[in-house]
């Protein structure tokens, strides 16, 4: 209840600039809807995480492995062309065309093939699901040999889906290995550590090479939309509204700022040409928080996340913050179940791992 009350209060306070500025009152209804939605997703994610905590750890792990195998198998079938017609048909049926990723030419030039979407609207969503599952498995597993196996699955998933968000699992794996197994155990598996570092180096090198190839043709659209433009918009918003920002869910109120930034020479040609058809996306959670809540609200946001983690497992673990920091770069805003649901899964996995550790200590 404390978490939900604090979340509601900082979201409500973020609406004050809208109420006090007569030129922006038109946007109040849209932003109030966002306030209600973020509170609902907060409630749902707490309930979802609590439900996952009631599942036996081995059943939880088995469900995650099954989901990951289905995603990898389906993604591979789509890359090979077997599942692509069905996937495209379902996607056309479920989503508005403006929400569907259609830049297949960019995929072919950048990756050599059309990335799989597997019934989702874009490849990055598939990558997010893989990242969530892989990170949860890494947190749950207590056997270092199984952790190496999950790392191998992460490399396989990345090679098929080619979404950089999956690389978060490798970072979390490093943190978890040092956190759980300690330096002594790690040194006993020097060969595995060397293989892991080589694999990470190869993947990073391939990704960097492909990224440089895309950047050589101008700034990569995804990099611009996720990193550069959000920083520029954040700077502009904090200059005008430093304390409380533009208010939660201020999509229409920010349209002029986003349009102005997207028309700059720095913006990729794809962004400028597609401006009329593109929805406003905040780029990443970290910038969206300060765009919506300002400096004061942004600081309060981290306290709210701490309360969220404590509402579920009683503390705020390191793996939670590592996941949030990496995952937030690839998520368009803080007002979405894709954020709160993912954090709930990670916390539930952490809670299950804590229970396993306590039982082992008692035994």
Write phi, then psi, for 99 (nearest 5 degrees): -95, -5
What is the pTM for the complete model shown?
0.86
Residues contacting 7, CB < 8 A, separation 6+:
38, 39, 42, 304, 308
Measure the CA–CA gap between 298 and 10, rounded to whole angstroms. Answer: 9
Write phi, then psi, for 170 (nearest 5 degrees): -70, -40
Measure the CA–CA gap between 361 and 136, rounded to whole angstroms. Answer: 22
CA distances from 237 to 257, 346, 359 (A): 8, 32, 50
CA distances from 149 to 67, 156, 196, 206 (A): 16, 11, 11, 21
What pLDDT shows up at residue 210? 59
What pLDDT shows up at residue 44? 92
Contact 9, 297 (CB under 8 A): no
With b for 16 or more beta-carbon neighbours within 10 A and e for fewer, the 210-232 pattern comes to beeebeeeebbbbebbbbbbbeb
Measure the CA–CA gap between 353 and 330, rounded to whole angstroms. Answer: 26
Torsion sign over Cα 284, 289, 294, 295: negative
Contact 161, 126 (CB under 8 A): yes
Measure the CA–CA gap between 119 and 92, rounded to whole angstroms. Answer: 9
In tens digits, the chain (363 residues) has pLDDT values of 888 888 888 888 888 777 777 666 677 787 888 888 888 898 899 999 999 999 988 899 999 999 999 999 999 999 998 899 998 888 888 887 767 777 777 777 767 788 898 888 888 889 999 999 999 999 998 887 788 889 889 989 998 998 889 989 988 988 887 777 666 666 666 666 666 667 666 666 665 665 555 555 556 677 777 888 888 889 888 998 888 888 887 777 787 787 777 777 667 666 666 654 555 566 789 999 998 889 988 899 999 999 999 989 999 899 999 999 999 998 888 888 899 999 999 999 999 988 877 665 444
Closest CA to 287 of 199, 362, 224: 224
CA distances from 169 to 63, 135, 351 (A): 18, 5, 18
Q: In 182-332, where does DSSP find H-type helix?
A: 182-188, 190-216, 221-223, 229-240, 255-262, 269-273, 285-313, 318-327
Write phi, then psi, for 74 (nearest 5 degrees): -65, -40
Measure the CA–CA gap between 222 and 2, rounded to whole angstroms. Answer: 37
What pLDDT shows up at residue 183? 63
What pLDDT shows up at residue 23? 67
What pLDDT shows up at residue 362? 44
What pLDDT shows up at residue 361? 46
- With DSSP H G I counted as helix, E B as strand and the rest as coil, what are the percentages for the chain, rounded to 5? 80, 0, 20
CA distances from 362 to 54, 84, 254, 348, 355 (A): 20, 51, 55, 21, 11
What pLDDT shows up at residue 182? 67
- Give me the long-range contacts of 259-262 (CB less than 8 A, separation at least 24): 261/229, 261/232, 261/233, 261/236, 262/229
């Amino acid at each position: 209840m404390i978490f939900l009350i604090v979340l509601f209060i900082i979201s409500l306070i973020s609406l004050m600039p809208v109420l006090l500025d007569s030129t922006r009152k038109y946007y109040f209804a849209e932003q109030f809807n966002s306030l209600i939605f973020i509170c609902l997703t907060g409630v749902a994610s707490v309930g979802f995480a609590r439900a996952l905590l009631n599942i036996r750890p081995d059943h939880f792990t088995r469900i995650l492995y099954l989901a990951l195998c289905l995603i990898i198998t389906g993604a591979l079938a789509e890359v090979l062309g077997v599942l692509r017609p069905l996937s495209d048909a379902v996607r056309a049926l479920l989503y508005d065309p403006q929400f569907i990723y259609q830049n297949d030419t960019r995929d072919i030039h950048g990756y050599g093939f059309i990335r799989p979407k597997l019934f989702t609207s874009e490849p990055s969503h598939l990558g997010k699901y893989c990242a969530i599952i892989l990170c949860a498995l890494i947190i749950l597993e207590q056997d270092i040999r199984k952790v190496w196996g999950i790392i191998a699955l992460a490399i396989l998933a990345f090679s098929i889906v080619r979404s950089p968000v999956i690389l978060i699992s490798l970072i979390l794996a490093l943190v978890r290995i040092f956190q759980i197994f300690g330096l002594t155990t790690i040194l006993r598996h020097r060969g595995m550590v060397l293989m892991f570092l080589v694999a990470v180096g190869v993947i990073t090198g391939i990704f960097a090479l492909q990224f440089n190839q895309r950047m050589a043709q101008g700034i990569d659209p995804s990099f611009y939309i996720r990193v550069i433009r959000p920083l520029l918009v954040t700077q502009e918003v904090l200059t005008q509204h430093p304390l409380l920002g533009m208010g939660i869910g201020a999509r229409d109120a920010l349209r002029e700022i986003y349009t102005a930034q997207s028309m700059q020479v720095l913006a990729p040609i794809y962004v400028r040409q597609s401006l009329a058809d593109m929805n406003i996306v905040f780029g990443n959670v970290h910038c969206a928080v300060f765009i919506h809540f300002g400096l004061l609200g942004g600081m309060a946001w981290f306290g709210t996340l701490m309360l969220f983690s404590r509402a579920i497992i009683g503390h705020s673990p390191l793996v939670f913050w590592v996941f949030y920091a990496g995952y937030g770069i690839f998520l368009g805003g803080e007002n979405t179940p894709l954020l709160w649901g993912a954090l709930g899964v990670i916390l539930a996995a952490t809670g299950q791992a804590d229970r396993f550790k306590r039982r082992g200590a008692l035994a």
